[in-house]
Amino acid sequence: MATIALSAAGMALGGSIGGSVLGLSMATIGRAAGAVIGQRIDQQILGAGSGSVETGRIDRFRVTGAAEGADIQQIYGRMRVAGQVIWASQFLESSSTSGGGKGAPPTPKTTTFSYTVSLAVALCEGQISRLGRIWADGEEISPDTLNMRVYVGTDDQLPDPKISAIEGVDNTPAYRGTAYVVLEDLALGQFGNRIPQLTFEVMRAGQGAMDDALQFAQAVTLMPGAGEYALATTQLYASSAYGAQQAVNTNSPMGGSDFTVSMNAMEAALPQCGAVSLPVAWFGDDLRCGSCHISPKVVAGQTDAGTMPWVVSGQSRSDVATVAQVDGTPVAGGTPADAAVVEAIVDLKARGLDVMISPVVIMGQIAGNGLPDPYGTTEQAALPWVGRTTLSLAPGFDGSPDGTAGADAQVAAFMGQAGRSDFDIAGTTVAYTGAAENSYRRFVLHYAHLCAAAGGVSAFCIGTDLAGLTPIRGASGFPMVAALRALAADVRQILGGDARSAMQRTGPNITGCSPWGQMTRSFILIRFGPPPRLIL
């Protein structure tokens, strides 16, 4: 403002004097002189070139949840707790300065302050199993962003080294019997230069004379076997309709893909677990085994992850059908991508776990399918159990081909003709090159080859949930049992002698079966092979 006023006054004064200097009128010279003087006045008034500016500095710290004499919580199961601050270091102040250099126009010197603090937070009394998710001011944060140590509350835990370094070894308690965490050098800038409201997801098993059953679990099954990228250990992203990147297998900030986070949690919760059964699903479309097609499927509307295109047995997303929907919602996830299955096998083996692959069939019929029902109703049930798969008419119904050559033919159609040599293996990819068929043999042999390409597995299970097929009688004997024996031999040839092949123990496979109207009883597992070949 002074620049404008004094330049006008200088021009008026110069004009009243008149004359010129070096060709410049006195009015012009007066205007320039007034503008220079006014600019200096403006700089002093408006602050350009003024004293240094400080930002981010605080004069008081507030620590929440640090009440002396507060109760120590007792928890059981899984709970979200806030805890109590039981120790805190002095706040460490850091500063950085910018501006203030020479030049035109001059800029003020700005000093920005930031703070870190180390603190210990007591969670509960007793020994916990593990720590889950963490929230700061109600927002979930990744443990990987924190320099955090967890003390689970054992009776022999040692003092924390950070506390010992500050307080001295003789002045540092170990807080034995109390579960607590130590957050070292927690940066406060992202929380507005204050300690945030921290809450923790704590898991604690029952304490007492009776041991927790989880401490004895030695194996788990990772159901349900569906989800296109559910088994991938790589964090994958796909492009949305508007070009944005969307995570396809990362749904928490815990660090890593959903599979990785789940396996980390499993190892913490089940310390004795040494084996994992990994089902992998294809989809069936008919309870009549002679008309049933088994094939991989995808979820409609989903797109491939950029670094892991969906490929199963050499088929891409555009080559396969989509999973049925009810009210716009898929009835199941899609078949896991082959690359994701390989990653899961490699990861589980790296954890020291024995891996058993179990190819499973999910039936995809929905209401209104109009398919003839082998059990005599108007149509096949919606989303039936694959164990209901049987002949064109189930044994015991009038006209059933059970006990005839027709049963042999229908079982043969279900199994198919795919052989061990009908697959092309390149690295960890497996593509089917045989005759066009969507059969059970193609399904199982594909995963046998995929397991071999992934470096092998400890066991391979066939016949999962096929409780309605193994009791079927042909013209002589049990055709499904004979077909499974031949398939098991092929699997052993592919995987080698170190891997065990197995037939799932389900229903009549255990109790045996009796032909309708007869008193005889046959025990199917005996026909499958000697006990060393079975995992029961």
Same domain, 353 and 484: yes
Confidence check: pLDDT of 402 > 70: yes
In a domain, 94, yes or no: yes
The H-assigned helical ranges of 393-439 are: 405-415
Question: What does the pLDDT average to over 96-108?
Answer: 66
Q: Count up the domains in the chain and report the number.
A: 3
* 255 band by pLDDT with thresholds 50, 70 and 90: confident
How confident is residue 288, by pLDDT bands cut at 50, 70 and 90? very high
Give CA–CA dist 449/443, Å, rounded.
Answer: 10
Mean pLDDT across the chain: 84
Per residue in 440-459, pLDDT (tens digit) is 999 999 999 999 999 999 99
Helix (H) / strand (E) element for 494: namely helix 479-495
Q: Are residues 28 and 81 in the same domain?
A: no
Kindly state whether residues 244 and 204 are assigned to the same domain. no
Q: Which residue has the tokens 């959903």?
A: 258
Q: Which of 4-13, 112-121, 327-336, 450-459 shows the lowest mean pLDDT across its residues?
A: 4-13
* Dist. CA 276–CA 126, nearest whole Å: 30
pLDDT at 265: 87
- pTM, whole model, 2 decimals? 0.75
**Boundaries of domain holding 36:** 2-46
One domain for residues 428 and 301: yes
- Whether 231 maps to a domain, the answer reads no
Residue 411's nearest CA partner among 505, 489, 501, 475 is 475
User: Does residue 217 sit within a domain?
Assistant: no
Element (H, E) at 281: strand 275-284
Instruction: Indicate whether 486 belongs to any domain.
Output: yes
Mean pLDDT of 33-44: 69
Q: What is the pLDDT of residues 41-72, one digit of tens each?
A: 766 665 544 555 555 555 544 445 666 778 88
pLDDT top residue among 516 and 165? 165
* pLDDT tier for residue 516 given thresholds of 50, 70 and 90: low
How many Å from the N-terminal Cα to the C-terminal Cα in the chain?
Answer: 92
- Whether 145 and 205 share a structural domain: yes
Q: pLDDT: is 317 or 53 the higher one?
A: 317
**Comparing C-alpha atoms, which of 182, 191, 175 is closest to residue 72?**
175
At 438 the pLDDT is 96
CB 335 within 8 A of CB 297: yes
Give the per-residue pLDDT at 96.
Answer: 80
What does residue 136 show for φ and ψ, rounded to 5 degrees?
Answer: -125, 120
Looking at the fold, whether 389 and 480 belong to one and the same domain comes out as yes
* φ/ψ (deg, to 5) at 316: -90, 180
The pLDDT value recorded for residue 109 is: 74
Q: Do 188 and 316 belong to one domain? A: no
Q: Checking phi first, is residue 367 left (phi over 0); if not, alpha (psi -120 to 50) or beta?
A: beta
Q: Is residue 125 part of a domain?
A: yes
* Both tokens assigned to 455: 């470096």
pLDDT digits (tens, 9 = 90+) for 463-475: 888 989 988 989 9
